[in-house]
Amino acid sequence: MKKQYRLRALILTLLLAIFGYSPAWAADSVQTQMSLSGDLDVDVLKASVLDDVFTVVLAYRNNGETDAKIKYKVDEVYFIDDIEKKKYHVLKDSKNEWIGAPISRGQVGIGWPGGVSAMEITAGGKKLVWFKFPAPPAAAKSLTLVIPDVLPFEELAVSR
């Protein structure tokens, strides 16, 4: 039963990310940074610890006048806690798959039989991406989150 629920939740999250749906609660971001290209803003919508797992939800917003694309390797996503200065990578499950979405073949993007395509974000649109990490130390109230092609999220507040 739990497996079925998790699969449904993963499919729903993926569909929401692909079609750019963002619920009303997503309007409030914890922190926002620009992409290195300058055409995207990336909002951290959630940065919280529950049961020793740190969850990050991102919203990529295309403020440009043309479509934008995102695709990057998940192993380049990490955070550094502000207490121990230790680097943490995205968690993997028992099948050695990254825990997050949308992820295919180790990359944030859309998987197809022939490979992985970049996720398109139409002008004025947005897409969601999420990751699960090991929890930072209990004393850590903030951290630095690093996402490829985005300015670092420094002193990102962590809720518990």
Q: How many domains does the structure of the chain reveal?
A: 1
- Show the domain range for 88: 2-157
Question: Would you give the end-to-end CA distance of the chain in angstroms?
Answer: 27
In percent, how much of the chain has pLDDT > 90? 77
Q: What is the pLDDT, as a whole number, of residue 25?
A: 41
Residue 124 — pLDDT band, cuts 50, 70, 90? very high
- Provide the CATH number for the domain around residue 48: 2.60.40
- 154 three-state secondary structure: strand
Question: What's the CA gap between 60 and 81, in Å, rounded?
Answer: 23
22-40 pLDDT per residue, tens: 444 445 899 999 999 889 9
In this structure, what DSSP letter does residue 92 have? B
